[in-house]
Amino acid sequence: MFFSSEAASASFLLPLTARDFLSYACVVAALFFIYINTSFGIIGSACEDIEGWLSEQKSVINFSFAGVSKSSDTLPLRAAANENLAIAFNITNSLTTISPSTHKFFLKTASSIINRSDRDWTVLFETARSTLIAELIRDTSQPLHLAEVTRITCLIVVLVDNFHVPSPASLPRESLVIITDQINDQWLKAKLSTKPVPSPLLSHHLSILQLALRSSDRVLKPEEILGTIMPQYETLWRVVLVTYLLAFHLYSSPTLQDRISSVPECLGTNFDEEKEALKLAKEGLRLTPSNKRIYRHTPAPNSQKVKADLELMHRHPSIWGWSALKFNPSRFDNLTKLQTEAYLPYSIRPHRCPASGGFGDRMVTCLVVAMGRVLDTATGKVDNVGYPCNAERKGVIGTARDELEGWRYTPTVYK
């Protein structure tokens, strides 16, 4: 664990001279860099030549390591690395196909959803807010399971945004819980070395939602629903939960309320108020990128999986400095050239995410602020049943799926 300024200040209660204080600070700083380097395994060439290391990571992402650039050549190298995802979810989309035509069709469909002009961020914010309030009062006998609530809220907002669901409150909660749990379980199984199998339970509960989710006046098949929502929903909920915990509870800043005061009205305006608010999402995506690792396969005949460590690119102390692990949206006031090159929450060409044009940052900000206003510090507190909250304050919280399952919100006042 690492020291935040708040945790460190508690250690300074003992009487110290200025010299003692300086010595202590130097020791803490030295230990910090030793620990972070050994923890991430970056002592050696990565520290000696950070630009070279960064170039190597990006060469995996943009396929230059394999000397290819055409989609007919890059798609098989990506699909091979995502083969288990295609099997686990029985889906075909841009991440899993080797067909350039299928890839183009998916991108066209995704872009039409993301870039449409009739999106009302106030409606999406209110959808999230009303869902969170309903979850908060549903069972007051026990703390709120934040991972489950975040997954449900994100899924409902994604469904409303994608399919214009007229009455999101009518969506059966039991099915939403099972769908989100099954997506999470199937994702974990897809990461194992053994081949996964599709989930009949997931397919069944997706079929329950079929009549509410229509596209072009036709009923979508379960695999079509899943193929549409997966790239947006699955990459969203962890970022939202971690950013909410850090921004509103563990690293709450006196400037936070000013930064988000114009949300949701500012979203989509490109005004200065929006740019300030979106820094919340940018910092959340820095510490919790939607994909911690980006995998590719090397070309045949000696094909093997290789990876780029996006999480480390976003946290490397030689890039982000001593505060690399601290949640600080203000760092985006002025990124260095190296930080700009290392910050790739939406990947890079040739397969840059369609949400990179602002939609992704806005959706994260919308959901995080909704959570922060309903589940705030004035009316409740958070804790992790597996990791004491005081320990978590010393550094960035664990972002693995199992680590996030332990977080609870305990209301002290009901609104």
Name the residue ranges covered by the structural domains of the chain: 118-292+326-411
Structure tokens at 322: 């001593």
User: Which residue shows structure tokens 């510490």?
Assistant: 287
Encode pLDDT of 322-367 as tens digits: 999 999 999 999 999 999 999 999 999 999 999 999 999 999 999 9
pLDDT of residue 10: 30
Does the structure show a pLDDT above 60 at 206? yes
pLDDT of residue 8: 30
By C-alpha distance, which of 160, 202, 210 is closest to 183? Answer: 202
Q: Which helix (H) or strand (E) holds 124?
A: helix 121-138
Mean confidence (pLDDT) of the chain: 87
Averaged pLDDT, 116-127? 96
Read off the pLDDT band of 18 (50, 70, 90): very low
pTM, to two decimals: 0.87
pLDDT of residue 217: 62
Buried b (16+ CB within 10 A) or exposed e, 11-27: eeeeeeeeeeeeeeeee
pLDDT of residue 228: 87
Averaged pLDDT, 376-383? 94
CA distance 131 to 169: 8
Q: Which helix (H) or strand (E) holds 179?
A: helix 173-190
Q: Is 236 exposed, middle or buried (0-12, 13-18, 19+ CB in 10 A)?
A: buried
Does the structure show a pLDDT above 80 at 284? yes
CA distance 144 to 139: 8
CA distance 74 to 77: 5
